[in-house]
Amino acid sequence: MKFIETFHGDVCVLGVQGKLKGCQEAEELYQEFKACSTKNVSKIVLDLTKMDWAGSLGIGALIGCLTAARSAGGDLRLSGLNHKILQLLHITKLDGVFKIYDTVDLAIDSFKQMSKK
């Protein structure tokens, strides 16, 4: 897997490329997420536009990232999910747990909307 980290103001966008299918990939994602969250950033977007697939361990890693973000007083958004991953989240009813956006820009904007309330 490959990861690309960019910052948009107080939002960290972590781009994920490849397949999130096994233990190694799940651990890599979680470690990259933790590295991003240790930079005094509590708003994180996982850009999954270039992620081909997620297995059950991968979905578990996404849940771990969400839990860690919320436990630290922040939040997590998912963006750019392909049809297969969206369907998997829908079947497992996790589409009601994650905040999912079509694009990174919409995900970033959702944090701005949240701070206006």
* Mean per-residue pLDDT, 82-99: 95
End-to-end Cα separation, the chain, in angstroms: 37
Identity at 8, one-letter amino acid code: H
Global pTM? 0.93
Which region holds residue 31: left if phi is over 0, alpha if psi is between -120 and 50, else beta?
alpha
Residue 18: the pLDDT is 92
**25-58: per-residue pLDDT in tens?**
999 999 999 898 888 888 999 999 999 888 889 9
> Please, what CATH class does the domain formed by 2-107 belong to?
alpha beta
pLDDT class for 75, splitting at 50, 70, 90?
very high
Give 104's contacts (C-beta < 8 A, 6+ positions apart).
13, 45, 47, 49, 79, 80
The full set of domain ranges for the chain reads 2-107
Residue 115: the pLDDT is 60
